[in-house]
Each structure stands twice: as C-alpha cells, then as structure tokens.
Amino acid sequence: MSQILVVDDEVGIRELLSEILREEGHQVRLADSASKARELRSRSTPDLVLLDIWMPDSDGVTLLKEWASTGQLTMPVVMMSGHGTIDTAVEATRIGAYGFLEKPIALQKLLSTVGLALEQGHSSDKPLPVFATIGRSAAAGQIREQLERVRKLQSSVLFVEPPGAGADQCARLLAKKDHSWVEIASPGQFDERREELPRLALRGTIYLRDVHEFSREQQFALLAMMADLEASGTRLLSSTTTSLPECINAATFEARLYAVLAGSIIRLPALRERSEDIPELIEQILLQALPARDARSRTFNMAALNMLRNHHWPGNLVQLQTVVKSCLQLATGTEIGVGDVSNALAEFDEAVPVIDERLDLDRDLRAAREDFERIYFEYHLNRENGNMSRVATRAGLERTHLYRKIKQLGLKAPRRTDD
C-alpha cells in the first residue's frame, strides 16, 4: 500500500483525487497549500506527491525547487495544472518532477501516471542516466570527454545550454562524493541562503542554476564571498541559458564574476543538433521509467521514432523525457505508434504566433511598428514564461525600459512559474 500526498487548493479536486486513489488501495494525505505540504513532508516521506502548480501561498514549482535544493525530493512528484505550457512542464521536469498532468485529469491517465511514478519510486536505487552524455553522436562524445577532463579538477565549471539540455544532470555528475551539495535554483534562493553558503558547502559543491538571472547586487555579493569559498575548498558550478559575454556587453553581468565562474566552459547542444541519439535516449528513458522486463516489451515503431527524430524539441532533453513518459501513459498496447506520439507532442508543444497574419502592412509606419512591437514582446514574454530578465536580455533593453514598453503597449507579463 502506497502513501500519496495530494496538494491542491481546490477542495473539489482534493476530494475527487482522494476518493479515486483510495479506491485503488492507496493511503492518501491532503494539503490545501504549499505550507501544509511542506509541513507534512517534514514529518514523513510519501511514496508519491501530486502537486498543483497554482496555489495561493506559493506555486508548486517553487516548492519543488525547495525540496530539490534541500535534499527532500526523494519521492516522485507529478505536477498538476489547468494552465499547462511547455515552459512549465520543462521547468518542472528539469528540477526533478516525474511528470505533468493537465486538468481536467482523465481517469485513465491519472491511474497510469500514478502507477508509473510509484514504480519509479520503488526502483529509485537504479543509477540515473546523464542524458547529455548518451548517444553516439560527435556532440555526445565531446560532452563525455569534457566532463571526464574536468571531473577531477577543483576549478569552477560553467555550463552553457539551451533550456533543458541537461546542465543540471551534468553538474550532479561533477559533485564531490561524500561531500555536501548545495543547489541554488533561483536568485531568490541565493538571497535566502547567502549568509550560510560557505558553511553549508564546506569542502563540497555549490551549483548556481541560471546564473544570468542574478541581479547586479547578487553578482557582487557572490564575488565578495569567493575568497571564503576558495579557502573552504568549495567547488563552484553554474549554468546559463544566455550568453554571458553578451550580458557583459549589455552591462547586465559583471565581467569579474564571469572570469571566476568560467574556469572551464562546457557547451551543451540542443537536442535537434544530435537527433541521431534519440533512439538510444528513448531506450534509457524507458529503462528509467519502467522495470527492466517491462521496458524491453515497450517499443516505439519506426514511424514513431522518425517523428521524434524530426521534431524541433524547444524543451530539449527534458521535453523528450516528458513526451516519452506521456506516450507510456497514453499508449494502450506494447507498441507505441505515430498516433501516441502526436497526442503526446500536442500536449506540450508551444503555440507560436504567426506574425504575417497579425501584422497589417497597409497601415502607416508608426502604427505598423507598434503592432510589430506588441507581437514581438508578446512572443518573447510567452517564450520566456514571463521571465523579465531573459526578455530584457533577448531584446537588448534595460528592465526598467522593458517594463515601460510593455505597459505602453498594453501588454501584461504572464505569471512566472519559477520565482
């Protein structure tokens, strides 16, 4: 009998999920907020958590990050949302979520996802594959060589990647064995843990995710503590999805900090640049998600594999993992086909605005320019999931100018899922 924690602020959903899961023979505990879920997790470790993204006190992705950074993400977590986007799914999977359920949740998909997630939790002693290193492509081989070269060094390492290309797993591979690991998943976490970082990471490893999002003040604070970190034998790893030299040129990143972080630089390719590795990656995802006997019996037919090879993969490796797991949940037979892949991709693909159909070129130049700017910023706000720092960097604007421009155009930044 498994113990499942359901976290959702809507009482109707909590009661419905509780009733279904109890009928399946599971023990169910309920939480109506992130704070209640935090309290229950501190008392015991459930076998599975179903975690809503939108809650009044804190969003689910923030709670997921907290559990990951404090070593409490020792159980599979499935995210739930009625407003799912690829950015949310990719970010949650990147942090460590097992999967993603979109509301209203179909009964078959709920039970399938719960079953697979519990199976993963029960076999959590299996070593986790580092997906960026899997495959026979030249890109995968180069990553393996670079990681092996820097593994035994004390120098800092900066991972440069498109979102979801595997920096988090690669960083974990470089963690010092039998020493502390401290992961800072956001600028807010850096502020919360700034004073205790040298003590927590003594002779261990600090990993700073998305370091390009750090404010200038936070960058200088990190520079100020470098002497203490070096004296304590702490290794510094970091990742960025934005070119830091470009940020330096735009005066949004401190050149001295870049010099410290970039002792070694490892660039991770987009999945579309190593599409020949996809069949082998899928095999490893199946082995991770299922018992070995079941993984061998579930196969993607050639047409389905070709569809996956030819996909553009905006979410890279973490999107591939999410789509393959979704295929496992949707497929009714042992062979997964084109229809299963199409349905899984449709769940997570971004809707990209078609500019040509929305821009009236017959209007005067000033009005047409305003239309273009509105479409341009709407596109980037959705692409970056409301992350104003990234939008400002991509647009080459100061954040204050960006806020002013968005207000002028009558746009509203979508709510972020990673603050």
pLDDT of residue 87: 66
Burial class (CB in 10 A: 0-12, 13-18, 19+), 297: exposed
- Same topology, domains 131-267 and 271-348? Answer is no
Q: Cβ distance 306 to 337 under 8 Å?
A: no
Coil, strand or helix at 156: coil
Whether residue 74 contacts residue 121, with contact meaning beta carbons closer than 8 Å, is answered with no
CATH architecture of 3-122: 3-Layer(aba) Sandwich (3.40)
What is the enclosing helix (H) or strand (E) of 412? none
What does the pLDDT look like over 321-370, one tens digit per residue? Answer: 889 988 887 777 788 999 889 888 876 654 344 444 556 666 667 777 77
Give the per-residue pLDDT at 197: 83
pLDDT attached to residue 363: 65
Task: Report pLDDT for 123.
Answer: 53
Is 289 exposed, middle or buried, given 0-12, 13-18 or 19+ CB atoms closer than 10 A? buried
The answer to whether 262 and 299 are in contact (CB under 8 A) is no
The encoded tokens of residue 97 equal 């979520």
Name which of 42, 27, 44, 36 is nearest 7 in CA terms: 36
- φ and ψ at residue 270, rounded to 5 degrees: -70, 155
Q: Which residue has the tokens 């807010």?
A: 188
For the domain made up of 271-348, give the CATH fold: Helicase, Ruva Protein; domain 3 (1.10.8)
CA distances from residue 122 to 76, 117, 135, 396 in whole angstroms, order as listed: 10, 9, 27, 48
- What CATH number should be reported for the domain whose range is 355-408? 1.10.10
Instruction: Enumerate residues 6+ apart whose C-beta is below 8 A from 363.
Output: 371
Per-domain boundaries in the chain: 3-122, 131-267, 271-348, 355-408
Q: State both tokens at 118.
A: 């519990």
Distance CA 176, CA 143 (A): 19
Please answer whether residues 166 and 131 qualify as being in contact, where contact means their C-beta atoms are separated by less than 8 angstroms. yes
Q: At the fourth CATH level, which superfamily is domain 131-267?
A: P-loop containing nucleotide triphosphate hydrolases (3.40.50.300)
Place of tokens 């100018």: 401
* pLDDT tens-place string over residues 126-155: 556 789 999 999 999 999 999 999 987 888
Q: What is d(CA 55, CA 36) in angstroms, rounded to the nearest whole number?
A: 11
User: What is the reported pLDDT for 378?
Assistant: 82
pLDDT at 224: 92
Of 84, 104, 77, residue with least CA distance to 315: 84
SS (H, E, C) 240-266: ECCCHHHHHHCCCCCHHHHHHHCCEEE
The pLDDT value recorded for residue 49 is 96
DSSP 213: G
The pLDDT of residue 369: 77
| Residue for token pair 């002028």 | 408
- What are the pLDDT tens digits along the chain (419 aa)? 789 999 999 999 999 999 999 999 999 999 999 999 998 988 888 999 999 988 887 888 889 888 876 667 888 999 998 765 556 766 777 777 888 888 888 888 898 889 888 877 665 545 567 899 999 999 999 999 999 999 878 889 999 999 889 999 999 889 877 788 888 888 888 888 888 888 877 888 899 999 999 999 999 999 999 888 888 888 999 999 999 999 999 999 999 999 999 999 999 999 999 999 999 999 888 877 776 556 667 889 999 999 999 998 988 998 898 899 888 877 777 889 998 898 888 766 543 444 445 566 666 677 777 778 888 888 778 776 677 877 877 777 777 778 778 888 888 755 544 43
